[in-house]
Structure formats: C-alpha cells, structure tokens
Structure 1
Amino acid sequence: MRVEDGFQLTHFTERNAYLSDPVLPNLLKRVLPSKIVNEIEPDLVRLGTETITSVRAISERATPPRLTQYNHWGQRIDQLDTSDAWKALKAVFFKEGIPGIFYERTYGEFSRIYGFAKLHMLVGDSHVVGCPISMTDGCARVLELIGTSEMKTRLLPRLTSRDPSFAFTSGQWMTERPGGSDVSLTETIAVPTENSGDHMWPEYQLDGFKWFSSATDSNVSVALARTGDIKDGSRSLSLFLVPLRIPLVPQAGEPLPSSISNGIHTHRLKNKIGTHIVPTAELSLKSTTAYLLGSLHHGVKHILPVLYITRIHSAISGTGHLRKCLEIATAYSNVRRISNGQQLLSENAVHVAQLASISLVYRALTHLVFGTILFMGRVEANVASKDDASLLRILTAVVKAFTAEKAVAAMEESMTALGGMGYMEEVGIGRSIRDALVEKIWEGTTSVLALDLVRSANDPTAFTAFKNWGTKILDSCPPELGSKVQAPLEAVKAAFQTIDNVYGHPMTISPLLPRPALMLVGHAASAAMLLEHAVWSHNMKTSDRDVDAEVFVRWVNEGGLSSSFREVLDIASGDNGERISMNSSLAYGSRL
C-alpha cells in the first residue's frame, strides 16, 4: 500500500493563543480596569495569531549555538555563534515590548499584567528566549533601584528598548561549582582598581569561575563576587555589572570587540536535557572589568529583585508551555475519530475527563501566577501596602516552586491525550516538557525555595498578612455561592489557619516540614485566587459563572489540597526522628 492510500490522519489546527485560552481573557477582565482591557485586547488578539504563525515559523528554524574556542592559527577566540532564528526570536520580544512594557509603565501597576500576558502566549514557541529576557528584566530593575545616574542614562534605556538594533540583553552569574544555589562558598574574587572610587563607574576586577551562565551571548551580566573574607560567607559578597566585551558600546563604524576582550573565556557550552537553543556555558573570569552595584558586601540583598523577577518569569514559563500543550490536546480531540470512525475524542467521556483534569491544573496555576504578578505590579508602581509587599515576598517563592511541580505533570497528560502522536517531536509537546523541566531547578529548587519561605517567616507580620488576605477573599463569598461551595470553603479556611500555625514559629519547624508546607501554601493561595475569580464571575453574572465555581470546588477537592494538608499536620504534630532515620535507610540502605 502506498502512503497516500488507506486511512489518512486529519491535521488539527490550533486556535488563536489568546482567544482560545480558557483563563486569560476573563482573568484580565477581572483584574484590569475596563479601559485598559479595551486598549490592550486588540494587541493581545493580534499576538495570539502571530504566536502560532510567524513566531512559530521562526522557532522551527532555530538551531543550537556553536562555540569555536580557537581559530586556525591556534589563537583563543571563544567565538559563540547563535542561529539567526534565535536572534529573530529575541527581536520579536523586544518589538513586543518585553521587557519594555514593564518599565514604560503606561498602565501603572497593571503594566506587569499586560507584559506577562504577552509572555504567557509566546513562551511555548520561543525556545526559552524568555531566559535572557527575564535576566534582562532583572538587571533593568536593579539599575533602576541602585544603579548610578550614568548607568541609568546609558544602560537602562538599552535594557528596556523596543528596538532590536539598540537593545541589550543581560545574563545573571551566581552559580559556582562549590555551591549551586548556595552562594556562600562563592570563589570569584573582586579587587578594586584605581577607578573604584569613580561614583559613576566604580571599577573592580573579577577573577573566578562561573559554572552555569545562561544567555552567554548577552551584552552585560550581573554577577556576585567576594569582596571580603570567605569566612563571612554570603555576607562578604557584592553585586557587579559585567560587560561581556570591552568597550561595551563601540564607536560607530568600529568592529564588534573580541569575545575575550574583557578576560572572559568560555570553557564549554552545557549539554542540557532541554533548552537546547539557549547558549549556557561555563565561564572563567581573569582580570575582568566589572562595576560595583550598590554598597559593598550587600550583594545578596541587592540581587534579590533579580531573583524575584526571574522566578515570576520561571512560573510564566510553566503556565505558557502548559497552555500550548493543552491547546494541542484539545485541538486534536476535535479531529481524531475512534470507534470505527463513529466518535470524536471530544465526544468520549473518558477522554474529555482527562482534558478537564489538565484544564483544572492550568486554570489554578494561571490564576496563581497572575495573582502574584498583580502584587509585583503594585510594588513596582509604588502603590503597594506593606501587606502587598509581604505577599509578594511569600508568593514569589511559592509560585515558582508550585508551578514547576505541577505544570510538567499536566503537560505529560497532554502528551498522552494524543496517544503515540503526542510522543512525536513534530507535535511540540516533547520540547515543551524538556524545556519546562528546567524550571524545577533554575532560580532555586523546590527545597531551596521552601527554606527561603521559612526565612520569610522571620518577619512575624508576613504570614499574618497572608492569612488576612486569604480570609478576606473567603469572607467575600456571597451566601448564594457559599451554599454551593461550603465544604471547599471550610477546607481552605482550615488550610490558611494551619499555614499560620506552622509559620508562626519558624525556629521550631521540623526539618521535614518546609517542602510540604510550601506546597500547602501553593494549594491554599491558588484556591483563594480561584475563589476570588468565582465570586467575581458570580457577581457579574458571566456565562462562565457555574464553570468558575466548579473549578474552585474541584481544585480543592481533587487538586491535592487535602493530601497536602494531612501531610503537613502529620509532620507538624509528630516526633519525626524515627522517620528521618528511616528516610536515610530508604535512600541509602541499612548501613552496618
């Protein structure tokens, strides 16, 4: 039989990435003033089409970077070549105003929502260009907060530009071989030069090795380096702005400076499970010129805005990839026939139940992510209350970890919804899974973020603010809706109370508790945000009000809150010494 003969598979067609989204349009209508929605929605609809057409076409041409360390004369050149498609994808982001929208602040506290809505659609078809964009966003925020006036004049406009020919990208160099996410053992040393007293460009020289440097093709990077005694750990680290080439901005008509012009040598490109198009490398620094950002020995404090921002970008990567996978699975169900061609998958109750479970996760994560972005927008627009700032501190760690844990599992379910077709590279779900897996590691693993959440509880008002926020949403449920969702309401109330009890005494938290406690916070926060939307939908009498109420009920009952709640209670109320010992035996076997 020829391939043209016999049964022919029906090609599925994805819909507009904005209009087909089961969450985003109504979420924006709830959180944004109607005037802003009316202004930005045509732009989002346009981008929804371009995402699955022109942007995807560029993405399909992307190839991995190549490193040439020596030329044919045996001279060290460390030439990094990235594909034209990678450059074109970066240009798309710049032109779309990412990260420009965040700093133009045309829409004030809602500018972050607008920009991240665009990112949410683009993520699945951009080969993780969002990685350098996220670090560029973080670098811009650091310069905005603590950069010198000269840095703000010369560099900040480039980091936030919409013009690809003018725009800069930034990297972020924290990770070193001794510590991974633990920067206290940082080996890179910073030594002041004779120009260290320059108030505009306080110059230092860096010597060290950065083990995991993403976006190595960027123009600048922010980096931690030691300016004091190593015995002081992270308290002797300072933050620096590092040009990757010197001069940073060549004179008009001059050639691009050498890749090693600032003493930065690329040891090798990383061979990663995913994010294959992102140029990630091991770098050695030798007498590398860098400029101090902020005050000496406060590097960890100064880099926190970068971490908050990149963690939100990480979370939007999870929801963005899941959006694409869910849409593929849904589109396929509308064309694939079973039962001798008599039934579409979209008409099969078992299959639709699987899609509904994926959609449930997607809805919960998307509301959680954008709810957190709303607090970030308030803080950056200087309209946040103290409680808003506390909520951002808590939710930034939670949203990154919780989304990373939940999103990939739902993507895998999307893959299986296509059967063998889902396992094919051409469909695109496999790449989304590989690329999204890194979000469990980048910017802190779940365990690292769980410990960070415990540290945030050292401020006794932080989790009081969290509980008050949750209680306000729960109390806003009108009686008519409340009677339909009474049991889930009580479950979420109990979760918030337990969270308040656990984090009320951070010094006494069991070593086993931080990770499950973080997951409980994620469940409670996402449930509260789903309820907030259901209340709005009920009050506005939207056509989706029954679905929105059902999403809240199912997420509480079926999404894992109850098991997370029980795990936290069991650990918090028990003597965990025996369990810790048994964990060791399970992991390593009984040791004689």
Structure 2
Amino acid sequence: MTDHAPRHDLATHEVLNQPAPPRDLDLLALDRPLREALAREAPAWVAPRIESLARAVGSVAVQTLGEEANRHPPQPRLFDRHGRRLDEVTYHPAYHALMHLACDNGWHAVAWEQEHQGGHQAHIAALYLLTQAEPGFCCPITMTHAAIPALRREPELHAQWRSRVLAWDYDPRAVPAWEKSAVTLGMAMTEKQGGSDVRANTTRAVQEGDGYRLTGHKWFCSAPMSDAFLTLARTEAGLGCFLVPRFTPEGERNAIELQRLKDKCGNRANASAEIEYRGAWAQAVGDPGRGIATILEMVQQTRLDAATAPAGMMRQALLEAWRHVRERHAFGRRLGEQPLMRRVIADLALEVEASLMLSMRAARAFDTPGDEREHALTRLLPALGKYWHNKRGPGFMAEAMECLGGIGYVEETPLARLYREAPVNSIWEGSGNVICLDVLRVMARHPESIEALRAELLLAQGACRQFDAAVTELEDLIHRPAEALEANARWLTQRMAQCLQASLLLRHAPTEIAETFCRSRLGDGVSPVYGVLPDDAPLDAILARIAD
C-alpha cells in the first residue's frame, strides 16, 4: 500500500534527497523491449490480453501482496487438534490473492487453450510479468501449466483432469479434486540419495488393481498443497511416472505424509516440503519403465519458465535501480547523470533485453506446429536460457542492490528478496552442470537441434565482426571430441546462449545497441563485471529503452 503523506520534517532533521514513494505503474507501457517482442513474436491477440496483467502487477497493491507473501511464509499443519493427520500447509492471504491473479485470468492455461496460436508466447510474457509481482508463487503456476504434456501420455487421465487443470479459477481447499472446479498440479522427483540423478531413486510402486501403491520419500516437493503430483517410482520394468492425488477415489486423504518444510534461502512465499509416500495410491502415466521420458515432457516446459523467471526478476531490479538513480543526488549531481552509474544501468538493461529475447524466441518455437526446425529448437533453447540467464541473475541483483546502496540491502525494498531468490531457478529442474550435460545429450541424440541453432545464428551473419568471430569459435568448439566437449560443456552452453542472444539483438534491436552487446559480451577483453562497456557505447539510446 502507498503511505499517505509521510512526515519529512522531523525533530532532528529533514528527510531530503529520497526517491518518491512507489506508485502504480503500467509495466507494459514502460517496457519497450517487451512490446517489441510481442509485436514480433506473438499473434495480435496476445498484447491486448497482457495489458491488464501489466497494470495489475505494476500496481502498489499487487507489489504489496508480494512483500506480504514473503514476510509471512507458509506454515505446516500436520495434525488437527486431536492428533489426526492432515499433512497440510497454510498460506498467508497475500499468497492466495496472487494465485487468484494468475489463475482467475487463465495464465496457467493459455498455452494449451491457444496451442500453436501464440499460447506459449502469451504464457511466457505473463510469467515474465507475474515474476515481477512475486517469483515464488509462480512455481505452482508453472507446474500446473507444464503438467499437460505429461498427462497426455495417458489419455484417460488427461481427459479426467484437463478441464479442472485449465479452469480459470483457484480453489485452495483441501478436498477431493472432483469437488473442486479448478486444481493445481505439482511434481516430486528428487530423493535424498540421488538429487538430480533420479535413476538412483528408490521409491517403489506396487500394482494394486487399476492403480499402484507407492512407498518411499521425496526430498523436495514444492507447492505441497497441489491437488496431485507427478512423481517417479521404481517398478519391475524400471522407473515409472505416476500421478499421486491428494485424495484417493474413496475420498480419503492419500498416504502422502509431510515431514517438514524447507527453511530456504529465498523463494519463501512458496512452500517446499519433504514428503513420504506410505502406501500412497497412484495411477501410472505413460509406458511402464519410461517414467523419465514421460516426466521430461513436463520438465521441458518448466525449464522454459525457469529461463524466463530470471528475466522478469532482472527487469524488476532494473526498474528499482533506475528509479532510484534518477531521483537521488550524490556529489552534486543526480546519480543517473554520472558516467559510471550510467554505464552500470545501461549494461543491466542490455542483459534484461537479451534474456527476454531468448525466452520469447523459445516460446515461438513451441508455438510453431509442423516445422521441424522449430521443433528441434524446443529441445535446446530452454536449456540454454535456463543455464545462462540464471548464471547472470545473482550478479545482476548484487549490482542493482549497489545502485541503491544501503537501502537496497534491507528487506523494505524488493532487492534483498530478489537477491535471495536469484539462485533458485538455476538449482531446480537441473542445476548448471546437469543442464550442460543435457545440452551435450541433445547434440548427440538430436543433431538436428544444432543445425537449427546454426541456421538461427547465420541469419545475423555479417552484421557484426565480434559476432562472426564468436560463431566461428563456437563451430570449432562443437566439433571437438566428446571428452573435450564434456570438460568444456559450460563454456559451450554459455557461448551458444550468448551467440543466440546476439543474433536476436542484431536482427531485431537498434543497431548500435546490438553492437554494444556483442562488443561487451563477445569481443576481446570482456569483463565479467557489469558496467564495463565500450567507450563509445550509446548510453542515451540504451537508457531510453528502460522506461519510456
């Protein structure tokens, strides 16, 4: 909420040289790169639908909801007053209000309601904005959205759950799914002994009639109040994928026992639990023994969201820093007029625009049916974006925090929360090394994905000397022996992502801005620190795109 007429003339001093209090913002009207991306990548219906969301997320009221949801994290409610098991989690009303904002407007459903008609572009643009309200609650939105491709592997289950999964509604009650108009779905894969190595999972599934009974544990189960979970368990045929509902067909609470909630560094509005299956009833999804392939249908979607969330968070941090330096004076001038600060802010703005471009390009690939090259890109682009955007995020948040100084380090601004949140999307859905190994796997099993990336890069060939040199270097790297590739998989993944970002900027951004990106990311003597740009960088042009 906006504080009304705070006193600035205090007994001992006058409060001066501070930015104005937060006000309502139209985040689409302010974000020229987003408007351009929607006009370029998405059908005409997407931007008008996004407009109301952009105004809502930019309002002081919704920003306050994000603060409150983090200030009052979820709490476990394992038993009722008489000692009977509930295995529930209670959330602050602010969290539920944010869930209503997303679900009541169908942002978890739009990719499938408008499949191959811009639905993924709409979903990604919405996630980019919703993350600027509060990133944690986007976790159940992402998982509910991403569950549809996995459920399609089991047509009967898909038909049973689809209408409630895609309903424009949010019902947080702990009751059987058939008593609700809308449901959310979650995912639980990792176990203590294996982490990302899910082939080490020991949870067992034993067939019982038309279903299975699962016994074992899951080490990380986010959004534990979901109405059902896609999970992995071992069968005689190997790892299988299963749907575990919160309630059995008889209306009884399923044997999913919540052990505790994780005390996380960030992502505090979103609950993450340790759970045990104690003979929990489940239904098989997909072919027996093909559980990893089935659940990867979901992971492919969640990874694209995990690539987009850091772009949204970086955008929010950039706006906070830009607003501060434009209104704050130091050493006789506005901070935003000082050469060093201008370079820092401009460099941050370049990073946001490049990250948004890559995510929106990946979304278009998902929305282009019947095109083999686009389908090939869906295998590769989410991994590239997830790896590189999240590697850039934590340093970005630290730099934005420095722009504010001490006030940026306290919890009253969003920057402390964003700083703590920044690592999470790099960790879940496969940490950095796992993603890089997946890129190598795609190269080996689906060489058409590398051909599709090569074709995308060549569209900008000849536009910039540094870009051409980087693409040549990337080609040499791709053709190294397998042993050398694995050792250099991080550099390979980084260079693929950066070259793709550069290609998109060279084709779609103002020339001087694209060239500045290439020279500061792909040229000689590149600094890992934000704010080191070429002497002739077009700072005015870059800064003008931040909030026009």
TM-score range, shorter chain: 0.7 to 0.9
Structure 2: which amino acid aligns with 1:305? E
User: Compared with structure 1, are the counterparts of its residues 182 and 27 closer, same or farther at alpha carbon in structure 2 (3 Å cutoff)?
Assistant: same
CA distance in 2, matches of 1:564, 1:388: 32
Please say if residues 48 and 121 of structure 1, whose CA atoms lie closer than 8 Å, have aligned partners that are also in contact. yes
Matched positions, count? 504
1:86 equivalent in alignment to 2:88: no
Structure 1 partner of 2:230:
222
Structure 2 partner of 1:139:
147
Structure 1 partner of 2:397:
411
- The correspondence for 1:421, drawn from 395, 404, 407, is 407
CA distance in 1, matches of 2:422, 2:483: 34
**Deviation readout 1:218-271 (Å, 9 max, x if unpaired):** 001100110127xxxxxx1111111012348x6xxxxxx5xxx21111111111
Please say if residues 19 and 323 of structure 2, whose CA atoms lie closer than 8 Å, have aligned partners that are also in contact. no
Instruction: Tell me the CA shift for residue 333 of structure 1.
Output: 1.8
Structure 2: which amino acid aligns with 1:25? R
Structure 1 partner of 2:511:
549
CA distance in 2, matches of 1:194, 1:367: 49
CA distance in 1, matches of 2:208, 2:524: 58
Which range moves more in the overlay, 73-82 or 514-523? 73-82
User: Compared with structure 1, are the counterparts of its residues 276 and 227 closer, same or farther at alpha carbon in structure 2 (3 Å cutoff)?
Assistant: same
Quote the sequence identity (%): 26
Which range moves more in the overlay, 261-270 or 12-21? 12-21
Instruction: Tell me the CA shift for residue 4 of structure 1.
Output: 7.3
Please say if residues 222 and 270 of structure 2, whose CA atoms lie closer than 8 Å, have aligned partners that are also in contact. yes
User: Compared with structure 1, are the counterparts of its residues 245 and 456 closer, same or farther at alpha carbon in structure 2 (3 Å cutoff)?
Assistant: same
CA distance in 2, matches of 1:73, 1:369: 50
Please say if residues 269 and 282 of structure 1, whose CA atoms lie closer than 8 Å, have aligned partners that are also in contact. yes
Aligned-partner SS, 1:403 = helix
Please say if residues 108 and 166 of structure 2, whose CA atoms lie closer than 8 Å, have aligned partners that are also in contact. yes
1:270 equivalent in alignment to 2:280: no
1:438 equivalent in alignment to 2:420: no
Instruction: Tell me the CA shift for residue 127 of structure 1.
Output: 4.4
CA distance in 2, matches of 1:228, 1:410: 47
Structure 1 partner of 2:6:
none
Structure 2 partner of 1:537:
none
Please say if residues 492 and 556 of structure 1, whose CA atoms lie closer than 8 Å, have aligned partners that are also in contact. no
**Deviation readout 1:124-174 (Å, 9 max, x if unpaired):** 21241111111111212222x31223x233311111111224221111111
Structure 1 partner of 2:301:
309
Instruction: Tell me the CA shift for residue 100 of structure 1.
Output: 1.4
**Deviation readout 1:428-472 (Å, 9 max, x if unpaired):** 01111212211120111111111111111113333223212211x
**Deviation readout 1:94-143 (Å, 9 max, x if unpaired):** 1222111111117x342211221121111021241111111111212222
CA distance in 2, matches of 1:73, 1:290: 28
Instruction: Tell me the CA shift for residue 283 of structure 1.
Output: 0.4
Structure 1: which amino acid aligns with 2:108? P
Aligned-partner SS, 1:266 = strand
User: Compared with structure 1, are the counterparts of its residues 21 and 4 closer, same or farther at alpha carbon in structure 2 (3 Å cutoff)?
Assistant: farther
CA distance in 2, matches of 1:89, 1:412: 26
Instruction: Tell me the CA shift for residue 60 of structure 1.
Output: 3.1
Which range moves more in the overlay, 461-470 or 405-414? 461-470
Matches within 5 A, 1:454-473: 454-459=440-445, 460-471=447-458, 473=459
Instruction: Tell me the CA shift for residue 526 of structure 1.
Output: 1.2
**Deviation readout 1:459-498 (Å, 9 max, x if unpaired):** 3333223212211x124x6xxxx4xx3x224224314423
**Deviation readout 1:535-590 (Å, 9 max, x if unpaired):** xxxxxxxxxxxxx222221222212565799xxxxxxxxxxxxxxxxxxxxxxxxx
Structure 2 partner of 1:450:
436
Q: Provide structure 2 residue ranges, at least 5 long, that are not aligned to the other structure.
A: 1-8, 172-180, 528-548
Please say if residues 223 and 272 of structure 2, whose CA atoms lie closer than 8 Å, have aligned partners that are also in contact. yes
Structure 2: which amino acid aligns with 1:46? S
CA distance in 2, matches of 1:401, 1:299: 24
CA distance in 1, matches of 2:158, 2:383: 28
CA distance in 2, matches of 1:400, 1:424: 28
Q: How well do the aligned residues superpose, as a CA RMSD in angstroms?
A: 2.2
Instruction: Tell me the CA shift for residue 346 of structure 1.
Output: 2.1
Structure 2: which amino acid aligns with 1:466? L
Structure 2 partner of 1:125:
133
1:95 equivalent in alignment to 2:104: yes
CA distance in 2, matches of 1:172, 1:16: 34
Structure 2 partner of 1:531:
506
CA distance in 1, matches of 2:77, 2:96: 19
Structure 2 partner of 1:26:
36
Structure 2: which amino acid aligns with 1:357? D
Structure 2 partner of 1:509:
484
CA distance in 2, matches of 1:114, 1:511: 35
Structure 2 partner of 1:64:
73
CA distance in 1, matches of 2:391, 2:11: 41
Please say if residues 12 and 331 of structure 1, whose CA atoms lie closer than 8 Å, have aligned partners that are also in contact. no
Please say if residues 318 and 404 of structure 1, whose CA atoms lie closer than 8 Å, have aligned partners that are also in contact. yes
CA distance in 2, matches of 1:50, 1:434: 24
Aligned-partner SS, 2:460 = helix
Matches within 5 A, 1:310-459: 310-340=302-332, 343-378=333-368, 382-383=369-370, 385-459=371-445
CA distance in 2, matches of 1:125, 1:421: 20
CA distance in 2, matches of 1:491, 1:3: 63
Structure 1 partner of 2:466:
488
Please say if residues 12 and 332 of structure 1, whose CA atoms lie closer than 8 Å, have aligned partners that are also in contact. no
Please say if residues 175 and 210 of structure 1, whose CA atoms lie closer than 8 Å, have aligned partners that are also in contact. yes
CA distance in 2, matches of 1:4, 1:60: 30
CA distance in 1, matches of 2:66, 2:468: 47
Instruction: Tell me the CA shift for residue 511 of structure 1.
Output: 4.1
TM-score (norm 2): 0.87
**Deviation readout 1:503-552 (Å, 9 max, x if unpaired):** xx5x3435421111111111111111112213xxxxxxxxxxxxx22222
- The correspondence for 1:281, drawn from 273, 282, 289, is 273
Please say if residues 42 and 364 of structure 2, whose CA atoms lie closer than 8 Å, have aligned partners that are also in contact. no
1:180 equivalent in alignment to 2:170: no
Instruction: Tell me the CA shift for residue 321 of structure 1.
Output: 0.6
Structure 2: which amino acid aligns with 1:178? Q
Relative contact order higher in (CA < 8 Å, ≥ 6 apart) = 2
User: Compared with structure 1, are the counterparts of its residues 562 and 448 closer, same or farther at alpha carbon in structure 2 (3 Å cutoff)?
Assistant: farther
Aligned-partner SS, 2:118 = helix
Misfit runs of 4+, over 6 Å: none
CA distance in 2, matches of 1:237, 1:275: 30
CA distance in 1, matches of 2:429, 2:183: 22
Aligned-partner SS, 1:509 = helix
Please say if residues 258 and 273 of structure 2, whose CA atoms lie closer than 8 Å, have aligned partners that are also in contact. yes
Structure 2: which amino acid aligns with 1:194? G
CA distance in 1, matches of 2:486, 2:155: 42
Q: Provide structure 1 residue ranges, at least 5 long, that are not aligned to the other structure.
A: 196-202, 230-235, 251-256, 535-547, 566-592
CA distance in 1, matches of 2:12, 2:20: 15
CA distance in 1, matches of 2:484, 2:523: 20
